[in-house]
Structure 1
Amino acid sequence: MKKVVLFGDSIFNAYDGQKDTDRLTKALAKRLGDAYEVVNISVSGACAQDVLPRVGSLPACDILVVEYGTNDAASWGCSAYDYQEGLESLIKQAQKVTRASDTLVLAPSMPDLTNPEMAAAYSLEKLDEYVDIAQRDAGKTNSFFFDLTHKMEKLKDLPSFMIADGLHYSEKGISWLADVLADQINKMA
């Protein structure tokens, strides 16, 4: 059985507006089937640099999936330099600790910019910059990369994939994200 570790923020924790849930973990496990064990070690509200002290406690795994950058790219997040340094360090340390044979790095999640609060906190320009950083860091660490930002930007009716806050995923969004992750993981296997 292959072990998949999800290491991200509230997007991977499937925050539902009130609390973190296991919706994504269960949905991904169902899609991957009995050949995989899915473990979620995500930290809601965190930026890449915030979780560096926790990397040492990650379990060994076959596939590591890293999803940080959504909070980093917010107006209250961190500079591009700090994101780049934090993400690269996080990936390198996590690969060493988990001994993962494969790592998948996701670009930041795309907020619903028609939501006034999200439009005030995020810009397409900054998200694009953070996508480029995530892609470069994936390359530097011999990781697979998936551009979640631009994949979401192309979705018809993005707000239906989100809960009312415009950032976290609805049931439809969780189902879509689980499909995306399962597809990417199966391509790596």
Structure 2
Amino acid sequence: MTKITLFGDSLFNGFRKRCNTTLITDGLQARLASYAQVENISRSGATTVEGLDLLDQVDPNSDLVVIEYGTNDSSAWGISSESYRQNLSTMIHFFTPEKCIIVGPWHPKEANNFFDFQTINNNIHIAQNLAQENHCPFVNLSQITNGKNKQVLDQIYQEDNLHLTDCGNQLLLDLLTPVILTKLKKLGLA
């Protein structure tokens, strides 16, 4: 069976009430059950620095790796945008670009003081450019809070103004699922 690995931070861990959950893993598994098995190697709080240390934990037989890093890289405890670029590029080439989907950094609500929004925007552009250079699909998480979803903005974020509620997680799954299905079809796996 086709194997998909989620590789990121607390967003992919469905972080709720200071605990990791399997909301995203289970949600994608339910949506992709007839196509693939979904595994999650994400670590809450991780930057790409920690992600590099976890590369060998990803099953080398994974058919698709969905890389979601950059939010913590953009935080007050994060790293430079150039280091983010180098680390993300290393991840893409470790797995091979053909196997990768790149998910740009998530942006917290403006009430969150631990993030520099200019750095987040820079890192979103870096992720998008690396995806384009390597011919990888790119998922822009800004789509969750833009357009029609602006009406439900207060329903997307938990009280920490960073992590997602049930509504936000459903919007994340709605954004990821078609990109994953398209990539699986392109690889001849769906």
TM-score, normalised via structure 2 length: 0.88
Deviations 1:165-185 (A, max 9, x none): 111111111111112111111
Which residue of 2 is the match for residue 67 of structure 1? 68
Deviation at 1:146, TM superposition (A): 1.4
**Superposition pairs of residues 159-174 of structure 1, within 5 angstroms:** 159-174=154-169
Which residue of 2 is the match for residue 128 of structure 1? 121
Which residue of 2 is the match for residue 8 of structure 1? 8
Instruction: Give structure 1 stretches of 5+ with no counterpart.
Output: none
**Superposition pairs of residues 69-148 of structure 1, within 5 angstroms:** 69-95=70-96, 101-113=98-110, 115=111, 118=112, 120-148=113-141
Deviation at 1:124, TM superposition (A): 3.2
Question: Structure 1 vs Structure 2: percent identity of aligned residues?
Answer: 30
Structure 1 letter corresponding to 2:107: M
Whole-Å separation in 2 of the counterparts to 1:27 and 1:139: 27
Deviations 1:140-184 (A, max 9, x none): 333211111x21330313231121111111111111111211111
Structure 2 letter corresponding to 1:111: P
Structure 2 letter corresponding to 1:36: A
Whether the 8 Å CA contact 1:73–1:122 is kept in 2: the answer is yes
Q: CA RMSD in A?
A: 1.6
Deviations 1:8-35 (A, max 9, x none): 0011011102210101100111112322
Whole-Å separation in 1 of the counterparts to 2:46 and 2:160: 17
Which residue of 1 is the match for residue 35 of structure 2? 35
Moved over 3 A (4+): none
Q: How many pairs does the alignment contain? A: 180
Deviations 1:86-111 (A, max 9, x none): 1111221133xxxx843110110121
